[in-house]
A and B are shown apart, each in its own frame.
Chain A
Amino acid sequence: MSIQIDKDMCCGCRRCSAVCPGMLIEHDADKKAQIVYPKDCWGCASCLKECPAGAIKFYLAADIGGHGAVMQIKRQGNITQWIINKENSTTIIKTDSKAANKY
């Protein structure tokens, strides 16, 4: 369980490192974000929700059943698109922050 940060896409805004509850993200000399403690990620996805550049992806490590899929987030107004890319397919699930869970 951890995140990957695409250095080329990172805009250096520091929002991810500001909000990470474990303070696991730091910035290199180019101000680009990097996860310095990948094994310490709780999987809360707060950084994905903050990132305005879509540079952060979330994955399940192999020890908890992951085999390569990654999840990204796109937010527009109330709607969050959760985009899950597997090897041969993409699944998109939309959640609405104004709609309560049915369960």
Chain B
Amino acid sequence: MEKLQINYIDTDIIIAGGGTAGCYGALKLAESTSKRIFIAEKANIKRSGCLAAGVNALNAYITKGRTPEFYVDYAQKDAEGIARGDLLLSMSERLNECTRDLEKLGLVILKNEDGSYAERGTRNIKINGENIKPLLADAVNKNSRITVQNHINIIDFIVKNNKIYGAVAIDMVEDKLYIIKAQVVLCATGGAAGLYRPNNPGFSRHKMWYPPFNTGAGLAAGIRAGAEMTTLEMRFIALRCKDTIAPTGTIAQGVGASQINSRGEIYENKYGLSTPNRLYGTVEENLAGRGPCYLRTKGISAEAEMDLKKAYLNMAPSQTLKWVEDGEPSQNNVEIEGTEPYIVGGHAAAGFWLSSDRQTTIDGLFAAGDVGGGCPQKYVTGAMAEAYIAANSIKSYLENKKDKLSPAEYEDIAERYVKVESKFFGNTVKTYNIESLEETMQKIMDNYAGGIKTHYKYNEQSLIIAAEKIAGVLNLSVKLHAVNMHELVFIHELQDRLLLCLFVIEHMRARKETRWHSFAENADYPNQSNEFNKYINSRLQDGKIKIIERDLVGREEYYEHTNR
């Protein structure tokens, strides 16, 4: 490698990440503005992000006779009050409109005889979501107002005096660095997997719940640029089918399967039915010596079994393969386990601290989907709703903003990044590599920061050890050697996750209570405390992590950043 070639791209709006939120945000912007829209996507928008394999149901929908407030109540209760009422309400008000948009794009939704959607429980509707991402991507690709560049990875935002001016990206294949000039960025890069040692640490290390290719890139770029984060201590841990880490909700709701222990006792009611408690109950049953735990499917009808297999083919085909290869669900109960923890704002509340209009604390940097904090239980339609709100806000924001950096300033930035990035190709360290440092990070987090090994529990002393050790790995990572551009991206993915680990650890230290079982199980403080009826936020300040406590924001409020 000689030197990275610099390419300049001029646009108005950058969308970082072409997953569900990114694609839908681009479509909504194209409907309402004449500004140039540029999607930068690490993979290919056709199958990138959380919905690569498909999704089985739309889990956020206002069903017949219910209101958006009903959904807000549910999400607030599940989050034990640590969620933003304003964000949840504006999201909930748009869920059904986003659903209708998906149907217009071609999504198949199960209907009743009267034409209404067939509901599953009180918040879900039934669909065929195998092709949901290609449908969104097709609409984006056909829209002449949107430019998509696949296979480029944004590594940093360009920020000066707390205002955004674009992004820096590297190519996944060619020796190219991109300086993308823009007035606004919508960050939709998703949450972060791979911080903790996974359930399957060997050959199948990427057989995990969350996309292993979502590595918190946008969150880390935001942190480096000084953006405020919220509720990173509320990790998300999924209750999944053992080995395949496939969803359990479809079995539980589809055939009414209860959670049972190895004695055949139904244990779910003992611990409560909130998302964290369904997981916590499983952990506790195992610790009490009553594991393994299962979903009781034994005895389901042949028809139900076939419907289950088809449903899984449309979202998690490995589970159907497992049943055919290893034993059918009508003959064997389905073993379940908790996953390793993830940072994901679409399920839990970890992510950027946002104003009601979805702007981060950096002027001109907006966020939607799994990077958006304070607004849990978004799922697919909620991520879309957030992108919709952000698109409306971006349109208003751009009405009176035109400033960009001078060409010379962009050139300086480019040269600086070329120098830093090129260094990785010249590094010669032989005693460790990208893979071994990734495993080291995951081991540290697993052992000391509440991973599977400690049944998700941690304490002050273990977190201090975790922070010291992760900082050490971050120091080592600057000497890593890359042989090609893909490996350079791997190094960034590792460094992004390490930075995020440090923030997650400090958040867990700051919440001196156990607000949620398993998600944030602080062994020093095993109970909830009213003192912590507030958000734990953070930002990078003078190279250090600064913890900020903020008051709860209710659904009737309109929140703007006043002290950023």
Which residues of chain A come closer than 8 Å to B108, judged between CB atoms?
A: 97-100
Residues of B within 8 A of A (CB): 42-44, 46-49, 52-53, 56-57, 108-110, 118, 120, 126-131, 150-151, 172, 200, 202-208, 211-213, 243-244, 250, 253-255, 306-311, 313-314, 316-318, 320-322, 324-326, 486
Closest to A89 in B: B324
Q: Once the chains are docked, how many angstroms separate the CA of A64 from the CA of B316? A: 14
A95 touches B212 (CB 8 A): no
B243 touches A103 (CB 8 A): no
Q: Once the chains are docked, how many angstroms separate the CA of A90 from the CA of B298? A: 23
Interface residue count on the A side (C-beta < 8 Å): 44
Q: Once the chains are docked, how many angstroms separate the CA of A23 from the CA of B129? A: 23
Q: Once the chains are docked, how many angstroms separate the CA of A38 from the CA of B326? A: 22
A65 touches B322 (CB 8 A): yes
B318 touches A93 (CB 8 A): no
Q: Once the chains are docked, how many angstroms separate the CA of A1 from the CA of B43? A: 20
Identify the interface centre among B47, B126, B208: most chain A CB within 10 Å of its CB: B47
Across the A-B interface, give the 4 residue pairs with the lowest CB-CB distance, nearest first: A103-B254, A100-B110, A44-B52, A64-B243
Q: Which of A37-89 contact B (CB under 8 A)?
A: 38-46, 58-67, 69, 71, 80, 82, 84, 86
Apart from A23-B172, A64-B204, A97-B130, list 9 A-B contacts with CB within 8 A.
Answer: A1-B200, A1-B207, A21-B49, A42-B53, A59-B321, A71-B317, A97-B131, A101-B127, A103-B307
Can you identify 28 A-B contacts, CB atoms within 8 angstroms?
A1-B203, A18-B44, A19-B44, A20-B47, A21-B44, A21-B211, A39-B205, A42-B52, A43-B206, A43-B207, A43-B317, A60-B318, A61-B202, A64-B204, A65-B326, A82-B313, A82-B317, A84-B320, A93-B313, A95-B314, A98-B128, A100-B109, A100-B126, A100-B127, A101-B126, A102-B310, A103-B250, A103-B307
Q: Which of A4-23 contact B (CB under 8 A)?
A: 18-23
B52 touches A64 (CB 8 A): no
Which residues of chain B come closer than 8 Å to A65, judged between CB atoms?
A: 243, 322, 325-326
Q: Once the chains are docked, how many angstroms separate the CA of A61 from the CA of B561? A: 49
Contact among A19, A39, A69, A71 for B203, CB-based, below 8 A = A39
Which residues of chain A come closer than 8 Å to B321, judged between CB atoms?
A: 58-60, 69, 71, 84
